Amino acid sequence: MRRPLSLALSLALASSAFGSNFTYPLGEQNINLGWPQATADWHPHHIPSSQDPNFFDMKARYEWFLAQGREHLKRGLKRAAVEDLAAATSVEPYQPYARRLLGHALMEVGDYSGSLEQFRRAKDLSQNFKHLDIDWKDYSVSKGAYLYDLNSLREACLREPDNAVTIFLLGIYRYYDEKYGEALACFQRAQLLRPFDADVKYFVCAASRKLK
């Protein structure tokens, strides 16, 4: 009798865990809706609980996820940063800053299509996206770590020279690194591959103006 009862309890717990641990794809990254950060990067992490005094305060929850995401980026906990920042954008979907941070976190884990989609969304939500002063090194553990991730993106461009996603994404990074000549070359290549892409045209014009 004890054995069937134990089996039933195990199945019930497994069913509960499965229901609470539902994931959905964001670009190429699976986002955990039930227990975000519980296993990402294998580190202890506080998860919001109904026992928290501000559990139902959505503004406080957004700020909490955003702060955690920024901290994880600086600590090199890339997957945890993705999960926190994805949670932040789900709470406040019209905040371009959170989208920008999420885009960078996705770039760091190698999800270039997901990263570009977040930057496109951040641009649409911003009034002056091309005029922002962004220092990507502030979003990374160190300058060296940033350059490592940037070189990985460059290598992806070299492997697939006809991939407009990675080329456009590299252009965005070089644009905000104030390397406007390299950025414009990337944007023009992306424009050849996607001549009707309004976002690519936006950056071609922005980089061209910077070089005048």
pLDDT of 185 above 90 = yes
Q: What is the pLDDT of residues 39-84, one digit of tens each?
A: 455 555 666 666 767 666 778 888 988 999 999 999 998 988 998 8
Instruction: Give the integer Cα–Cα distance in Å for 160 and 54.
Output: 47
Dihedral through CA 71, CA 74, CA 77, CA 79, nearest 10?
80
Is this prediction's pTM over 0.85?
no
Spatial CA neighbour of 45 closest among 11, 77, 89, 1: 77
Q: Quick one: average pLDDT of 22-45?
A: 49
Spatial CA neighbour of 103 closest among 112, 91, 93: 112
| pLDDT band at residue 20 under the 50/70/90 scheme | very low
Ordered by start, the domain boundaries in the chain are 25-126
Dihedral through CA 159, CA 163, CA 167, CA 170, nearest 10?
-70
| pLDDT band at residue 164 under the 50/70/90 scheme | very high
Q: Quick one: average pLDDT of 145-170?
A: 96
* Beta carbons within 8 Å of 194's beta carbon, 6+ residues apart: 164, 168, 200
Q: Is 1.25.40.10 the CATH number for 25-126?
A: yes
6 token code pair? 């134990």
Spatial CA neighbour of 78 closest among 23, 20, 35, 139: 139
- pLDDT at position 36 is 42
Q: Quick one: average pLDDT of 146-151?
A: 96
**How much of the chain exceeds pLDDT 90, in percent?**
59
| pLDDT band at residue 174 under the 50/70/90 scheme | very high
- Comparing 94 with 14, the larger pLDDT belongs to 94
- Comparing 128 with 20, the larger pLDDT belongs to 128
What rounded mean pLDDT belongs to the chain? Answer: 82
Q: What is the pLDDT of residues 94-143, one digit of tens each?
A: 999 999 999 999 999 999 999 999 999 999 999 889 999 999 988 899 99
